[in-house]
Each structure stands twice: as C-alpha cells, then as structure tokens.
C-alpha cells in the first residue's frame, strides 16, 4: 500500500457539486424542480470551472446518473476543473476500477480525484447484489484498495484474499498522476477509520459542528500517526450565502417551505434503516424536528430533514460564512466540498461573495470579474462606465 503523506495546505481548496440526482429551488417537493440533463450538468461544470472551483464531486448510487459516464462526458467542456468520482468496492473489480481510473485520468490530463465509497444503505446494496454487513463491506474495501493501489502503481498483482482473488493482474496504461490520483474517503465508524488511516490520502467528514469535527479529526490523525501516516482532511457542506444575514436565513427557511411533516417522517424512516454511522450522526443533529435547526452558529441542519448524506448548510452573509470556514480550517480542514440550491445560481453566489475573502489554492486560474463595457450589461445609459469594478460592487 502506498505511503502517501499529505500535509494540510496553507491554502483552501473549494469543490462544488454536480447534482446528478436532481436540482431545484426547494427541497422535498416537485415545486420549483429543475430538469437535470446533460446540458444542465455541463452548464454547472463550466460555471464551476470558470469561477475557479478546484473541482466537482459527482454523487454515486442508484438515485444518481452514473458518475463515471457523466464525468467523462462533461470533462472535455472544461479546462482545469477536477472530477471527484467514486470507486465502489464490492460493486467493481479492483482491476476494472484501476483501468477506468487510469483511462479517465489520462483523457482529462490528470484532473481525476477518487472518492472511495463503501456504501451505507443495506437495501440499496442488496439491489446492487451486495449482501455483506457493515464491517464486512470495509473488509472488502481494504482488500480492494490494496489491489487497486498496487495496480495503479505499476505492480503485477497475485492475491487470494477472503473476498478478492486476482491472478496476474496488471495495468498496461498508467494514470497521468503519480503514483495515482488522490484517494478521498469518508467513514465515521471504527471500521471505516481503520481502513482510512492505512489506505487513503484525504479523510472526509460531513458538516457536523466544529467541536465534533475537531474530535473526529483528532481521532483520525492520531490513528494515522500510529501507522506512521499523515492524512489531510475535507468536509462536505451545503451553503446558503446572501449579501445580508437576514436574506440568507430567509433563503434557508424558504428552501424547506414546501416540506411537510409526512415528507420528513418518510425520509427519516429511510435514513433509519441505514447502517452508516455518519448518517446516524447526521440524524442526531436535528432528530427530525424543525424547531432547533441551527445546531451551531450559522450551521443549519434543515437540509438533513429530507436529504440523506450531507445534511447541514453554512448560512449567512459573506464575511460570516468565511469566518465559519476559517473555524474549520483552524481544526485542520483544507478541502471544502460545497453545494447549494439551485446549484448553478449558488455556485455563482458563493464564488462572487465568498471567494474574495478566502485564501484559495485554485485562485490562479479563476476568470477575473470585470466590468462589462457594453454595448449591453454594466455600461450605464450605453455611455458611461461605472466607477466601481464589478468585483467590488
């Protein structure tokens, strides 16, 4: 297994989200829903690329379009944007996954990031032909990553494990990135953390309050140190940012204004069947109740009433949201994977309002905001240019 050591950067990486499972102005309703087709996904990706986001996360699972196909289709329309795409131990052969990884890394010229997803919904897993319990899935993940890592590193693999058997496994076309694209991984259970500290580069957590995230980061970092490894850390959050705090909180309330108690109960029942410790921790933040959704200053759990996985959002004006991001950075988080509704508009809002307040590693390729000098746009009365630049307005 590779002994990749990743120290936290002094700068911050911000990734956005490609909503391959749907998008809209409101949660928990068809009202304000938006058709998510290839053209829309390409539009979101191109916006993220132009605005200077480091990359985009593509979700995985039966509720989504296939992430590998979408990434390979959209990537040629972007220039620098990276694509965080999932490998699925138990659903894929590690040899096939290694070939897919090397191919996509090559055709994107090294713009691939890998999200290792073990899965947390037994019902969905059975629909995909996987009938393993929680800890067994992590055993498969460990064996999978050992083979996957060796193949991408140019080794020939012969192994007979408990779950995986490979004879004369090899990769003829290597990835662009050496020794392989970075591995991202999220798992809050003991079994998940045990795999992470041996195998991956960046450990991900969902957006819990800073104190809980600090405890988790400390725990994972200590476990990695005992294995003589060092991981970097990322967090998955939604964002609702507006020019004023009042506007942002009204937008948060509006996002769930069509959500009924019946919809919440139905969603929480589905989440309760999952054996994901991370999902259980998300549910515990709000317990399906609407009355105490600000679980930490400017951290709102309303999304998690009806959405699985990442269920919290940073809410506020630009300086407040930037300050909250700074609190997570102080804990050791260097990568933020963000999203907002609708994803196209919120990508612009966050980049235009918050990016100038952050120290971004990816900022060197962002398109500079500038005055449109006409004949349409910012020129006043088709004759006079504004005195203030667009980026300062």
Residue 201 · residue 184 · CB < 8 Å: yes
Q: Which residues pair with 17 in a beta bridge?
A: 57
Percent of the chain with pLDDT over 70: 88
For residue 89 the two structure tokens come to: 């131990």
Answer whether CATH 1.20.1260.10 is correct for domain 13-361: no
What pLDDT, on a 0 to 100 scale, did the predictor assign at position 265? 84
**Which pLDDT band, with edges at 50, 70 and 90, does 371 fall under?**
very low
**Which pLDDT band, with edges at 50, 70 and 90, does 5 fall under?**
very low
Residue 42 · residue 83 · CB < 8 Å: no
User: If we measure between CA atoms, which residue out of 277, 188, 227 comes closest to residue 1?
Assistant: 227
pLDDT, tens digit, 9 for 90 and up, residues 110-156: 999 999 998 767 777 788 777 877 788 889 999 999 999 999 999 99
pLDDT, tens digit, 9 for 90 and up, residues 153-197: 999 999 999 999 999 999 999 999 999 999 999 888 888 899 999
For residue 141 the two structure tokens come to: 């993940």
User: If we measure between CA atoms, which residue out of 238, 243, 251, 245 comes closest to residue 353?
Assistant: 243
DSSP 298-327: TEE-GGGGT-SS---EEEE-HHHHHHHHHH
Percent of the chain with pLDDT over 90: 66
pLDDT, tens digit, 9 for 90 and up, residues 89-118: 988 999 999 999 999 999 999 999 999 998
> Interhelix angle for 261-272 vs 277-286, to 10°?
150
- Examine the pLDDT at 238 and tell me if it is beyond 70: yes
The Cα–Cα gap between 201 and 144 comes to: 16
Residue 197 · residue 190 · CB < 8 Å: no
Domain boundaries, the chain: 13-361
Going by the DSSP 8-state scheme, the letter that residue 185 receives in this structure is E
pLDDT (mean) for 10-19: 90
Can you tell me which residue has the tokens 């609702």?
240
The Cα–Cα gap between 143 and 125 comes to: 18
For residue 23 the two structure tokens come to: 């998008």
The Cα–Cα gap between 120 and 337 comes to: 20
For residue 312 the two structure tokens come to: 């919290």
158, burial (CB in 10 Å: exposed 0-12, middle 13-18, buried 19+)? exposed
The Cα–Cα gap between 19 and 173 comes to: 31
- Examine the pLDDT at 378 and tell me if it is beyond 60: no
- Residue 145: how many CB atoms within 10 A of its CB? 24
The mean of the pLDDT values for the chain is: 87
The Cα–Cα gap between 301 and 96 comes to: 38
User: If we measure between CA atoms, which residue out of 188, 203, 199, 193 comes closest to residue 331?
Assistant: 203
The answer, as to whether pTM is greater than 0.85, is: yes
User: If we measure between CA atoms, which residue out of 64, 54, 110, 56 comes closest to residue 85?
Assistant: 56
What pLDDT, on a 0 to 100 scale, did the predictor assign at position 250? 98
pLDDT, tens digit, 9 for 90 and up, residues 262-317: 888 888 777 777 767 776 777 777 776 788 899 999 999 999 888 877 889 999 99
């Amino acid at each position: 297994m590779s002994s990749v050591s990743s120290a936290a950067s002094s700068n911050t990486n911000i990734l956005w989200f490609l909503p391959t499972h749907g998008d809209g102005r409101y949660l928990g309703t068809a009202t304000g829903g938006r058709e998510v087709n290839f053209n829309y996904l390409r539009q979101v990706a191109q916006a993220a690329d132009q605005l200077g986001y480091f990359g985009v996360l593509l979700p995985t699972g039966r509720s989504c379009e296939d992430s590998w196909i979408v990434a390979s289709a959209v990537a040629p329309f972007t220039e620098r944007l990276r694509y965080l795409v999932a490998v699925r131990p138990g659903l894929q052969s590690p040899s096939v996954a290694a070939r897919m990884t090397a191919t996509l890394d090559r055709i994107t010229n090294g713009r691939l990031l890998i999200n290792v997803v073990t899965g947390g919904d037994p019902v969905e897993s059975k629909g995909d032909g996987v009938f393993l319990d929680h800890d067994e899935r992590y055993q498969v993940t460990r064996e999978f990553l050992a083979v996957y890592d060796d193949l991408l590193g140019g080794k020939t693999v012969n192994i007979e494990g408990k779950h995986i058997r490979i004879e004369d496994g090899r990769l003829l076309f290597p990835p662009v990135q050496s020794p392989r694209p970075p591995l991202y991984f999220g798992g809050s259970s003991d079994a998940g953390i045990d795999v992470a500290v041996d195998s991956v580069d960046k450990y991900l957590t969902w957006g819990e309050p800073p104190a809980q995230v600090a405890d988790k980061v400390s725990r994972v970092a200590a476990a990695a140190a005992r294995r003589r490894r060092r991981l970097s850390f990322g967090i998955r959050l939604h964002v609702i940012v507006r020019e004023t705090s009042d506007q942002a909180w009204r937008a948060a309330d509006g996002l769930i204004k069509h959500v009924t108690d019946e919809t919440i109960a139905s969603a929480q029942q589905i989440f309760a069947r999952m054996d994901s410790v991370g999902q259980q921790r998300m549910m515990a933040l709000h317990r399906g109740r609407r009355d105490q959704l600000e679980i930490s200053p400017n951290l709102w759990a309303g999304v998690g009433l009806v959405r699985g996985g990442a269920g919290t959002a940073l809410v506020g004006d630009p300086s407040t949201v930037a300050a909250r991001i700074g609190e997570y950075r102080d804990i050791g988080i260097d990568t933020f994977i963000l999203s907002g509704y609708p994803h196209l508009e919120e990508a612009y809002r966050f980049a235009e309002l918050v990016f100038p307040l952050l120290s971004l590693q990816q900022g060197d390729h962002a398109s500079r905001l500038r005055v449109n000098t006409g004949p349409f746009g910012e020129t006043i009365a088709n004759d006079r240019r504004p005195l203030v630049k667009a980026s300062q307005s």
